[in-house]
Structures are given as C-alpha cells and as structure tokens.
Structure 1
Amino acid sequence: MKRNKIAFAGLALLGASSIVLAGCASGGGDTDSSETPNEGSSAAVITTNGSEPQNPLIPTNTTETGGGKIVDSLFAGLVTYKADGSVENDVAEDITVDSPTQITVKLREGLTFTDGTPVQAHNFIDAWNYGADPENAHGGSYFFSEIEGFGEGAELSGLAEVDDYTFTITLNTPATDFAQRLGYSAFYPLPDAAFEDIEAFGQNPIGNGPYKLDGDAAWEHDVKISLVTNEDYDGPREPANGGLEISFYASQDAAYAALLGGDLDVLDAIPDSAFGNYETDLDGRSVNQPAAIFQSLTIPQYLEHFQGEEGQLRRQALSLAINRDEITEVIFQGTRTPATDFTSPVIDGWTDELEGADVLGYDPERAKELWAEADEISPYEGTFTISYNADGGHQTWVDAVANSIKNTLGIEAEGNAYPDFASLLEDEDNDAMTGSFRSGWQADYPGLYNFLGPLYQTGAGSNYGRYSSDEFDSLIKEGISEADQETATGLFLDAQEVLLQDLPVLPLWYSNVVGGYSAAVDNVEFGWNSVPLYEEITKAE
C-alpha cells in the first residue's frame, strides 16, 4: 500500500482540514504605523485571565478551558497548531500515515521534561494508556477510543514502542483525521515521575512545554497560577517573554476592570456589559474575529417531558421560541452570529444550507403549536430553567433567552446561576441537572468531526445531555472512516440533519473571540480557537 508520509512542518494535513479565518490582530491593533512595537524583555511576565481548573492538571483529565489554557502552556505534544489552525511539528520529527489504521511516530531526540528526564516514546504510550481508562480521565478517555484495545484491558494494544524515540499507533477503525488530532492536550506525554504519585503530580505537574510552574506554591487555588519560561524547551512555541500569571476572576467584568486599570495585560473575553464601548476604551488594542466556538443550550435526555415524541416536540418548540437575531444584535452587538448548524463557519466544510435548519429560526406561532401538541401528550408544569456559571459572563443572554421562551410559550422560564464553571460541570458529570444548561464547544483541532463525535456520539466523553442515536452514530462512524474528504464532509452534514430533527442541544450562536490588551504589551495574536498565543507576546520589563 502506498505510504502517505506527513512531516507536519506547516503542511496541509491529510488532504484535509483547512480553515478560513479572518486576519488576526497583533502588535497594537489600529495604532499609528509609525509606532514601533517594543521588542520586549525576556524577563517580563504577562498577566492574563483564566478560571480555576475543574480538575488536577493532568492532560488526559483536563477537558475544560480553564485547565486547558494552563496545560497547553506546561506541555508540548507531537504537533502544535499555528494561529490559522495549520499544523507543525513540536515533539515529533515526523508522523507517517502507513495506512488508514496505522501511523508511525518518530520523536525528536534530546528533548526533556522539566525534571531533566528525556521525552521518549514510552512517555506518550504510558500517558495514553493512563488516559484511556475512564476511571482516570474526565471525559478525555474518549479521545483514545479509536486505538486498538480500547476498553479491553489496562493497556492499549494498538500502541507499540519500536525504540526509545519511535512508536506506532494501530487504530481499530479508520480515522482519517487522527494524525491531525495529535496536538490536542489529551495526547500530551507524561514523565515517569507522574505515576509515582499521580494525585500530587496533578497539583504540581512536570511538563515539557514552553512554560513551567514558578515553584511549588505556583498554583494558588481560586486565585491564580504563576508560570515561568522553561529554558530547556526547544520547539516552535519558544516564549518571547519571561512567564505568565493567570488570574482567576470571579466575573468577566472584574477582569475587564483590571485590564482598564493596568493590572491585566491580556483579556480573552470582553464582558457583554462592555460591548458598546470596549473599542473606544481600548483605543485599537482589541480584537473581534471569528473563532472555532459554538454555543448551545443542552436539555438532558433524562429530564421528564423531554423524552420520546413529547421531548422532540418540546425541543423544537423551545428552539423556535428563541429570537437569536434580536439577542445577538442587541446584547452581543455584532460579536455573535446566529447558528445554522452544530459546528463553526471557520471550519472547512461548514454550510448554512442544511435541511431542517429552519427549526433554528424564530417562529413564535409554530413554537406555540408544537408546545400545545406536546401538552396533549403530557401537560407541562413548573419552571423551565437555564443553568449557567456566574463567573463566565452569561447572565444577560441567559435572561434574554429565558424571557424569549417565557413570552412566546407562556411558561415560566428563568436562569439558574452556579457560582463557577467547575461546580456546573460537576452536576453535568453526575447527571444531576434539573433543567437545561448552557453549553459550548471550543474546538480541540480544526475539523468538523471534532464538533460532532465528542459531543453527540453515544457514550462520548462530552455528551453531557446523554443523547444516543443509532442513525447519527452510523453516519459519524462512516464519515470518519472515509478517505475522500468531500464524501466524508457529506456524511457529517447528513449526521447534522439527524441532529436538527432530534435537537439534543439547541444551537444558539457562533462566538467571535472578543478580547483586548493593555498598552504595555505588543505582538498580541489570538488563534483559530480564540486562545491568545501567549508565547509570542512581548512586554517591556
């Protein structure tokens, strides 16, 4: 069989997933071109916002954005993603796709973890075996499900060490974008020391990335985490600064106030309360650009009144009762776009012409009719709630959605605030939600499948609504096994049309990354997935 060698040095990968992204802002935005950005100091620490990680900082156990931002700074994977979503090698020297189910990985030699031990093939194999066990990974085990031996024992039989710096991956089913996924945090390596005391390691991780913890007390829980440059890192993300201080703010408004007050260098989420004035406030030091982020409302399958025919009618009615155009225009002021599917417009293969997408429009009369049909099956009583995390800046839009539902359907609807993201996720994990909840997806890698399989496939790690459909599963499996990209894309679109009938979540809108930075920093660029490229940011000491 012909071997398809992929060196991953900025090349397009697997024929495949490219993304279309608007130009990124950097180095002072719209400031006068005669101004010269500072070259920065290698000792300067960049201050930025974040949130308390839900779990200890173990890559395979970190699937939410608060912990992900930190883990991505502490670790380096086989490949990494550039600002536009293209792939380049990091720890990998090359990745060779020998067949649709066989991949050979060759590592660069001489790389080390911050404890001085070498980064070798067994560090990836051991980490992936650990992460593949659902007992060890918070949703992350799903990413290893296509490796041979998944779910069959303590180790993945599809991982084999050839020598210290070479290993092979055998898949149990063709997955044409698998090599593209290998920059995601679930696939990071772990040093031998991690397995001596994995609990302690999660509080004080030893990584191989561009940054490392600033001492044993670097993580002040619910306050901040401090990182310094890893002087031994040798890869494409070499920092142009001396470190990061990531502060955990109780609200986006508090973080924005810190930015305006000079206490924060980079903010990756402007609060909706500032949408009308942030561009003036920041005087050119802001961005508003498309990103691979999808927002939705999840209604768990286990809730009363939301199962079977009655549940389908109610989901459709609720979707038609939400005035997405008005909410995105009035509240988000051009920073969100009403959703027409379950993915993102920046991902190759996206379309706004899916059959059944009219259920995402605002049609109050049809919404009332469908709700009445559902009431004939079983009358609805009580209040429809939308749970959200108060530290994420969601209250305004949640209230607007609740009011739109209330005014259209004539039922009681209101928001239900959790104090933080971690506590909301805890109840989602334990199937303890008593109503709907806000949900979203920041892509792990730039591909259509990543927006679909991990969220809606039966048993998937991030399928918090517990949706299951044989038809959807079959289409997704066929699509990810299809080598022809056009055919694969068609299957993913067919799968989305199944979702439009069942509505396991109600698509709301696509998010832009709307961020800002202070006059103290330059070379600020936000990537395809909305995260700032911290290593590129410069700051005078």
Structure 2
Amino acid sequence: MVSRKWGVRLIAGLAAAASLVSVAGCGNSGNSGDKKDSAKASGDAIIKVDNTEPQSPLVPANTNEMGGGKVIRYLFEGLVSYDAKGKQHMEVAKSITPNADATQYTIKLNDGWKFTNGEKVTASSFADAWSYAANVKNAQKQGSRMSIIKGYDEMQDPNTPADAKLSGLEVIDPLTLQVTLKSPDSVFPIQLAHQSFFPLPSAAFKDMKAFGKAPIGDGPYKFKSWQPNTDIMVVKNPDYRGSRKAANAGIDYRVYTNEDAAYADLQSGNLDVMEEVPQSALKTFRTDSSVKAFVQPGSSYQGFIIPESLPHFALGKEGNLRRQAISMAINRKQIVSKIYQNTKTPSTDFTSPLVPEHSAKLKNSGNLQYNPTKAKELWKQADEISKFTGSFKIAYNSDAAHKPWVDAVSNSLKNTLGIDASGDPYPTFSDIRNRVTDRSIKTAFRSGWMLDYPTAEDYMTPLYASSSADGHGSNDGDYKNPQFDAALDKALSQTDVAKRTADFQAAQEILLDDLPSIPLWNEDVAAAASTKVSNVHFDYTNLPTYNTVTK
C-alpha cells in the first residue's frame, strides 16, 4: 500500500505460508491489550488519529494509498485477517481449501455475516467485487490484484461488457466460492487479506463513486461522516462478527498537512495516536513525558522510483548502469544515523527483515551499498553510451518530512557523480500521487510501501510485475521485465516453503540488478500516543491496531 510517510516482528512460520494446506477457522479471538490498562477504559471514547486526505472515494479496489487505506481496513472485513503478532484469523471465510497444485481454491463462508445496511455477505459479494475490480472499464487502481484469477486477461479488452464476470470465479452456493487461478499460486490464502479482496454490497454497483463517499462495509466500524480535508469519522459496528472487535466507540481520522502540528496536538492531548513522529521530534520523543513512545522493527519501505520513460534510464545497459551508480552514491547508513537517529534500517533487499524470505546476502545486493568509487565508474560507462545532460530531480510531497532525506540524497549525487541533483517538492501527497497516477510526472519520485500481508510476494507483484504496470496496479515506474515475471511466477507455483523462498530470492536478484526503484531503508515503528490512551499495538504494516486502543 502506497504511504505518504510511513510491527512487532512476525513469527517466521506463518500458518498460511508454512505449507499448502486447507485453512479452517478454529474460533476467533480479538487483539487484546494489557489487562490493567483495559480496566481503566470505559470503551465509549472516540479515538483521534492522524491521517491524510484520501486520494479517491473509499472503494477498496480503487485505493492504493494510506489516506484512504487506513479507513477502509476498518470499515470492511475480508475472508482472513492478520493480528499484530502475524497470526492469521479466519474472518468471513470458514475454510480455504486448495487442490493439489494450488491452481484452484474452494472457499467456504461463515453464515451470518452482514453489511451495515443489513444485506447478507455471500459468495456473490466477493465474486461481484472481484469481477468489478478486474474489469478494465472500471479502471480500479488495485485491479491488477485480480490478475492471478482465470479470466482476468480477457477482461482487459476495452470491449468487455460492464457486467462481465471473471471466468475463474464460480458461486457454488451462497456460502461457497470456487476460485480457479491462471497459474499455481501457493500464497493465495495470504493474499486474500488484501483490501482489494474485500466484499461489496449490491448497493455499491448502482453508483460506485457515491458509494465511495459513504461506504457500506462489514468491518468492525461503520461509516459516519467525511468532511473533505478535515476528517473522516467511523463508529463501532455492534453487529461485527470477526476477531478485530472494537474496544472503543469509534475512530476520528483527522487530516493533517503538517506533521509538526499533529505532534503538537498529540502532546497537548488533542490527538490520541500518531503512526509516525515527525523528523523534528526523533531526538526527543523517547524521553518526552507528554507522550508514550513506541520503537520497534517495521516493514515499510522507503525509496524513490526512476520511471522507465525517463531519458537515459530505460531498462537496458545504459539505464541499469545509471541506476546502479545512483544507488551506490547514497550513504544510507549515514543518513539513517544523522537525520533519523537510527529509527530506520538501511535496505539490503527489496523486502524487509519482517518477512521470512528476506536476505541480506543476495547476488547484486552490493548495488545497495555505499561505494562512491564504483558509482563514478559506472556513471562514466553510461556516459560513454549516451552523455547525460540536464538535471536529476526527486519529487516528493512536502506535507510529510521527506525534504531532509531528499536533500541528503541529492547532495550525495552531486558530490559523487558531479550532476545537478535536487528535490522537487509538491504541496500535498494527493498532488504528487495524481501526477504519478496519470503518468504526467517527468522526474524521479519518492515511493513508500506498507506491507499489505506478510509475505515477500507483496513487495513484488504489485510493485514490479508487468501486470501491475500502465496504471493497472502500483508499478508506478512501469517496469516490465519478462525474466522477472517468469521468476516470480516460478516462486508462486512452489508449494514447498524452502523452494518458494529460494525462488523469491532469485526474483529479487533480478530486481537488484535492474533497480526499478532505489531502495533506501525500511521504516521502523517510531510512533507516539497520548498519555491518555492504552492498548496501543502495531501490526506487520507498521500501523497501530486502532480497534484495540482505549481511553
């Protein structure tokens, strides 16, 4: 999930990822906090949290940034979820059973789930939502998530009927959905935690834009109001049946365009939880008596993308040399230490230390290490192919604390490569995302990714697969390499964990050579909460579990 800014360490043997087995519910249990803290809370308080204005209406498959994503994940519930410890919970799904080669899954639903308008959640609620997301006519930003399902390719034809259904989805009965995939995918049960696989009520399809402004979900909270550029309010859903039950009365997502202003509100008690403290507070927040500080390993990625369309940087000899030179010219450890007080972990691959497939010893990982001498050599080799002229800019949104690192990276490029490099600020996150989405941006640009579900696949398919390029997903640089696609497909076809891990790593080695983005660091949790609240936890996405917070 794309983040404006930006976890307890995951248990390495996640149940759904450990082997290809039938997944069945064994009873749900909510995320619980400290019992002593819980005793102090009344459970009738609205929790105030910081947010950004969503880029689009709140439709799950059309949201790929966290301003909207943080709201959607609590308005809706899917087939499965993951708690703060990385444990999978069956939610609407009663069981998810694969065939022998992971090309087909039979999903049984629990009876009794309802949307907040009273409509029953059925197999059609999922099948219709997934087909809508896949249909090219609907231009859903997360539509490529459905590319694993049979029939997706046919639905990319502009002449596809508006009511077309994915051929790989068969509603056996109201509580049974059979899913046939295009090719084997052994991590499909994990991917189902992603919001693009959430169900939609029939009312959504009558006017999706209007629905997105007042969504009807089946999650732990229900929609109350949305004041653009001010806040979004959700309140507890008393009919929610899942594991993520609300311990508070609701969540007020307050829009901030200045992180320092949000932190000041936190210190004064006018804000309850802030997912990441501003750069200005990194030296002091741990000892600030006016807040509760949280520091722990995290999974979010920060870097910048150089679009394939940018002159001198297309996939190939010259482009690869320049990307590698730029990456080697950056002293990640120094930036993390001096600017961020070691609250970030320099990247060693394209994933994070919180997923089992992570490795710091992959082939081509040296491209992420500071090596100014080699950087100069590679840049010179690229100039011998085609001389680089002009400037190199990194676009970023100035409503979050990106300027310090962008300036530091730009200075490194100036000093090492001798080029004119600088930051290119945009006023808000929405401003830059709109330019990225419509492909009108003509510079490199910052990118952030928050893990959607706990597997290395989530760092790969949505960000670098060819099927996610050209506006069909989050491959914003439009990177397309058939060799990478084939390596990724091979990993997904493996039902043996060790072999799958090795194949994911082989796919990463291709990314480390091509560098479709320049990984900088993983964002550790560096968050804070008001002293008035308790039971604040962080999950694998680096986000607070807002439903557990009490006041």
Give your verdict on TM over 0.5: yes
Pairs aligned (count): 515
5 Å-filtered alignment, 1:94-493, equals 94-99=95-100, 100-153=102-155, 154-214=164-224, 218-282=225-289, 285-307=292-314, 308-460=316-468, 461-493=473-505
Moved more, 135-144 or 480-489: 135-144
1:27 Cα shift? 6.3
d(CA) in 1 for partners of 2:199, 2:438: 28
> Aligned with 1:264: secondary structure?
coil
2:60 maps to 59
d(CA) in 2 for partners of 1:492, 1:442: 19
Give the alignment's Cα RMSD to 1 decimal. Answer: 1.9
Question: Is contact 2:396-2:425 (8 Å) kept?
Answer: yes
Residues 56-91 of structure 1: CA deviation (Å, up to 9, x unaligned): 111111111111100001001111111022210111
1:20 maps to none
Unaligned runs of 5+ in 1: 1-9, 18-24
2:23 maps to none
Residues 489-527 of structure 1: CA deviation (Å, up to 9, x unaligned): 111111111111111111111110211101111111011
> Aligned with 1:522: secondary structure?
coil
1:350 Cα shift? 0.9
d(CA) in 1 for partners of 2:72, 2:126: 15
d(CA) in 2 for partners of 1:60, 1:117: 20
Question: Is contact 2:33-2:548 (8 Å) kept?
Answer: no
> Aligned with 2:353: secondary structure?
coil
Question: Is contact 2:134-2:140 (8 Å) kept?
Answer: no
Letter of the 2:226 partner, please give it: W
Question: Is contact 2:285-2:291 (8 Å) kept?
Answer: no
Q: Which one of 507, 511, 526 corresponds to residue 514 of structure 1?
A: 526
> Aligned with 1:521: secondary structure?
coil
2:9 maps to none
d(CA) in 1 for partners of 2:530, 2:385: 57
1:376 Cα shift? 2.1
Question: Is contact 2:344-2:522 (8 Å) kept?
Answer: yes
Letter of the 2:313 partner, please give it: F
Letter of the 1:351 partner, please give it: S
Question: Is contact 2:290-2:530 (8 Å) kept?
Answer: no
Residues 309-350 of structure 1: CA deviation (Å, up to 9, x unaligned): 221111111111111110010011111111110000010021
d(CA) in 2 for partners of 1:146, 1:346: 25
> Aligned with 1:161: secondary structure?
strand
1:135 Cα shift? 3.4
d(CA) in 2 for partners of 1:280, 1:412: 40
Q: Which runs of 4+ in 1 moved over 4 A?
A: 25-28, 35-38
1:502 maps to 514
Letter of the 2:268 partner, please give it: G
d(CA) in 1 for partners of 2:138, 2:416: 45
Residues 476/206 of structure 1: CA separation in 2 closer, same or farther (3 Å cut): same
d(CA) in 2 for partners of 1:109, 1:37: 31
Question: Is contact 1:384-1:435 (8 Å) kept?
Answer: yes
Question: Is contact 1:459-1:466 (8 Å) kept?
Answer: no
d(CA) in 2 for partners of 1:121, 1:36: 39
Question: Is contact 2:291-2:530 (8 Å) kept?
Answer: no
1:79 maps to 80
Question: Is contact 1:77-1:91 (8 Å) kept?
Answer: yes
Unaligned runs of 5+ in 2: 1-12, 21-30, 156-163
Question: Is contact 2:295-2:525 (8 Å) kept?
Answer: yes
d(CA) in 1 for partners of 2:32, 2:214: 33
d(CA) in 1 for partners of 2:488, 2:68: 28
d(CA) in 1 for partners of 2:528, 2:510: 39
Moved more, 468-477 or 368-377: 368-377
Residues 377-436 of structure 1: CA deviation (Å, up to 9, x unaligned): 222222210111112221111111111111111211111111222221221122222211
1:373 Cα shift? 1.9
Residues 199-230 of structure 1: CA deviation (Å, up to 9, x unaligned): 1101111111111112xxx1111111011111
Letter of the 1:105 partner, please give it: I
1:15 maps to 18
d(CA) in 1 for partners of 2:516, 2:213: 35
2:161 maps to none
d(CA) in 2 for partners of 1:440, 1:268: 15
2:5 maps to none
1:98 Cα shift? 3.0
Question: Is contact 1:297-1:507 (8 Å) kept?
Answer: yes
TM-score computed with the length of structure 2 as normaliser: 0.90
TM-score computed with the length of structure 1 as normaliser: 0.92
Question: Is contact 1:49-1:255 (8 Å) kept?
Answer: yes
Question: Is contact 1:132-1:141 (8 Å) kept?
Answer: yes
1:474 Cα shift? 0.9
d(CA) in 2 for partners of 1:282, 1:398: 31
Residues 227-246 of structure 1: CA deviation (Å, up to 9, x unaligned): 11111111111101100000
Letter of the 2:438 partner, please give it: N
d(CA) in 1 for partners of 2:140, 2:488: 23
1:26 Cα shift? 9.5
Identity %: 44
